[in-house]
Chain A
């Protein structure tokens, strides 16, 4: 069973989760046999392209383009290459792009799709994977019955593992027809240099306990020192204190960072649903009865605005050591 990974690119490089996907595919190929093929679409530097081999991709394909085709064309392009590469398992990152493209691809291939998976299949014949449902409040074992199998791996759940191979690297052009689209981009607002919440290893999150949007400076400071993404609870995004994209929880983003800091977040069941995949949760809340402490690994009872400067100081110290 050949495995094809759609590795997203960003400014000439792989997006970080690409290497985790390749590591996963390499491990999976140990169960299924077959080739590990990575496919990138867009701009990507040669040096960067080679890195895919460090994690086990033996065939590395780059389809060159200044900009990405629209969702439908991108999906069709992928379908074409999946068939060309004779791949049977297709891997995507479980992020907005993966969730957008993978189902369209699935429709074209008549493939079963399993999103939000966090580990290797239990077995491959029948093909059974475990995924989170109810935002992590339960786990479901899913049998993918179709010939083609599409998997979306949640970030930071498998890890990046070095397993170098000697690759074949190929570059191809994309036919012009793939760039025809009924959609016209009017404007884009890019935020570069920011760590993306969906793939961040550390997330510094805050809630209503911050009292005012003016107090977010120290949240951003701590995040910056730790190389973390910032996030927030639902009331905070509903109030317009923070953008909706930062909302973590059942109806917001579901994340799996290594460390999740919850400042002034009480820990309502819907919020916890979005963070239960975190490896370590640190909670700071003035109410020692706050339910967040039931799911936290480390807890501090106190005023967030007094605790934060102490943590910032400690973080700065540890980073300069």
Chain B
């Protein structure tokens, strides 16, 4: 066992921290309130290489390990989960999926600009009637010989409007159920694609979440990833890795709220002393610290397994389940410690609490994670 980070991992964490604390913090409240897409930050983070940090350097990525990715996601999420979700979807769903399962031509054409962050990716799986149950895809991809014809609607798509490249999951052979599902690389500006309005969300309000409608969209044959019918397996495999990103995001949200709570408790006075000196507050902080440390260890363990090419599906489910749940608990307590100040936007913790809620829902709800974990427990 070795719990030491490498010099390089620490450098990446510091780079992410510097960017978050220096730049993201400046306009995070305004972007949250007015639902402004963080275009400037995404451009800067792309230049720094964060948007493709996991991609092999052969494909213009950063070539960094998953541990570094967890550290970077935590630091960015401490300040702004709207930005980190864009980073997570691009890195661990879209880039990862193409790098792992795409052809050399697909990597050349689509992965490289995604890794450089020149284009942003979106992962289109959820549907109005198929959220957690990915087997019941209603979007169809009809095989027309030399192309596929896409029809249907996708919901709650992160980067739905800003993405340049979509990964679309659709049903080609309904009779084969989930074995008939395919995944396609689709240019966002293909004829027949329309994007719904920006969802007015509770949290992560500055990331752009949209419905995307496909109406007779032609997709070239060579844009299918893997064999015919590989789509479901692709989605499940990709989501396993995606869970590490969201787990690290939840961890960061919790840690961000916790750090604010600690600082506040040391400064704010009540009954003649700093509130940190009251056991009621001090013990809360101790509980929060333990939860965060646990979540961090689960995230890093899952990342380590992935980096060492060992099965990490259950570990990433545990990390995501736990980190999301404690993010909700820790942010709620952080608001409580702040008292009335915690309930107003200026102090950030109410925003972090709103952001935490989404981590229990997307990329596999907490309940779905429990299915994954319990199946493994009972197998």
Contact = CB atoms under 8 A, between A and B. Distances in A.
Interface of A: 289, 291
Contacts of B267: 289, 291
Contacts of A291: 267
Interface string B262-295: 0000011100000000000000000000000000
Interface of chain B, helix or strand or loop or mixed? mixed
4 contacts: A289-B267, A289-B268, A289-B269, A291-B267
Interface string B315-351: 0000000000000000000000000000000000000
Nearest to B269: A289
A136 to B, nearest CB: 20
B346 to A, nearest CB: 10
Interface of chain A, helix or strand or loop or mixed? loop
Q: Which 4 pairs between the two chains have the least Cβ-Cβ distance? A: A289-B268, A289-B267, A291-B267, A289-B269
Contacts of B269: 289
A289 B274 CA distance: 10
Nearest to B346: A287
Interface in B230-281: 267-269
Contacts of A289: 267-269
Nearest to A290: B267
Nearest to B22: A238
A291 B268 CA distance: 9
B68 to A, nearest CB: 28
B1 to A, nearest CB: 36
Nearest to A238: B22
A235 to B, nearest CB: 9
A289 B275 CA distance: 12
B266 to A, nearest CB: 9
B255 to A, nearest CB: 20
B77 to A, nearest CB: 23
A62 B269 CA distance: 58
A289 B269 CA distance: 8
Nearest to A294: B267
A291 B269 CA distance: 11
Nearest to A267: B267
B210 to A, nearest CB: 34
B130 to A, nearest CB: 48
A291 B263 CA distance: 11
A289 B267 CA distance: 7
B128 to A, nearest CB: 46
A84 B269 CA distance: 61
Contacts of B268: 289
Nearest to A291: B267
Nearest to B268: A289
A105 to B, nearest CB: 38
